[in-house]
Amino acid sequence: MKRRALVFAAPREVRIAEEPLAEPGPGEITVEAAVSAVSPGTERLVYRGELPPDLPLDGTLPTLAGKAAYPLRYGYAVVGQVARRGAGVPGEWEGRRVFCFHPHASRMNVPLEAAVAVPEDLDTRDAVFLAALETALTLAWDGRPLAGETAVLFGQGIVGVLTAALLAGQAPGRLVTVDPVAGRREASRAAGAHVSLDPAEAAAYLARETAGRGADLVYELSGSPAVLAEAIAACGFGGRVVIGSWYGVRRAPLDLGGRFHRSRIRLIASQVSTLPGHVALRWDRRRRREAAWEFIRRLRPSRFIGREVPLEQAGEVYAELDHGPGPVLQVLFTYGRMPSCTP
């Protein structure tokens, strides 16, 4: 067998490798990819060479083991169909659609326990949002939103929009999103935000609408270190700022004297690899995944796909990402036949 795989060869240099792929080993399956989702924020860091070189790519995923040293492979959202089975894999897996936390590639061997069966009623293009939805769900948990609060989200990329959609379902008093791109603000309003603002409007709006109290809950999801200071400034006394962005090697310029020192604001780091402590006694990864599938059914996130391109055009996609956020929320790489869901 052969496959096509995306390789980040060096900063701002990608190539498509044509390479052999062995038959699946015992307990493994071979998955023929249909689509894979680009994670704009993190993959921009990979493309630019802005990942911390001493930090593992992801210590919880065997497909992303190792350090951020070039050449490297990245990506963690592939949906495809089981084409081959290794010894010990039950026959009912043949032909099933699965989600894999695996770098972008047309074909891959993964341990059966690392493959997530896609519910039969879900469309393939919706299913590829599983990782993003799990991230949004964890962000919502970390913020502990309360009915009646004013919540503000800075950054309306795909994770930001999905987080806004989840918070909208929890009926905050006011859900405000902030993004410099008009198309993203439009998507945010469609997801349930009461109002979506350009950053230049945000401070005056919050001062007016909260009578100077500031927001109760703020999320920093822009991926830009400079925005963290804006998020803290938007938060009121005793409020919470949830930081979901990963800045890589970049540093956030902060002034933690003066107002912040007396504000009792809590800064909360959120990351999908682990569950927040306050839910961990009743939730585990399996239950969170079941909840994510249910939210995918409700939200139908495929409506936020802005572009689908063959894997061979990956270089163009990353070059565009390098210029900064654009109106396209989600890009998919495509690989050929699209397996369908069962109505």
343 pLDDT above the threshold of 70: no
141 pLDDT above the threshold of 60: yes
88 pLDDT above the threshold of 90: yes
- Looking at residue 321, the DSSP 8-state letter turns out to be H
pLDDT tens digits for range 95-114: 999 999 999 999 999 999 99
Q: Are 287 and 143 in contact (CB under 8 A)?
A: no
More confident residue, 36 or 62: 36
* Band of residue 279 on the pLDDT scale cut at 50, 70, 90: very high
202 pLDDT above the threshold of 90: yes
More confident residue, 25 or 52: 25
CA–CA separation, 272 vs 92, rounded Å?
30
Q: Please state the pTM of the whole predicted model.
A: 0.94
Q: List, in order of start, the domains of the chain with CATH numbers.
A: 2-130+284-334 (3.90.180.10), 145-269 (3.40.50.720)
Strands 305-310 and 215-220: unpaired
CA–CA separation, 79 vs 122, rounded Å?
12
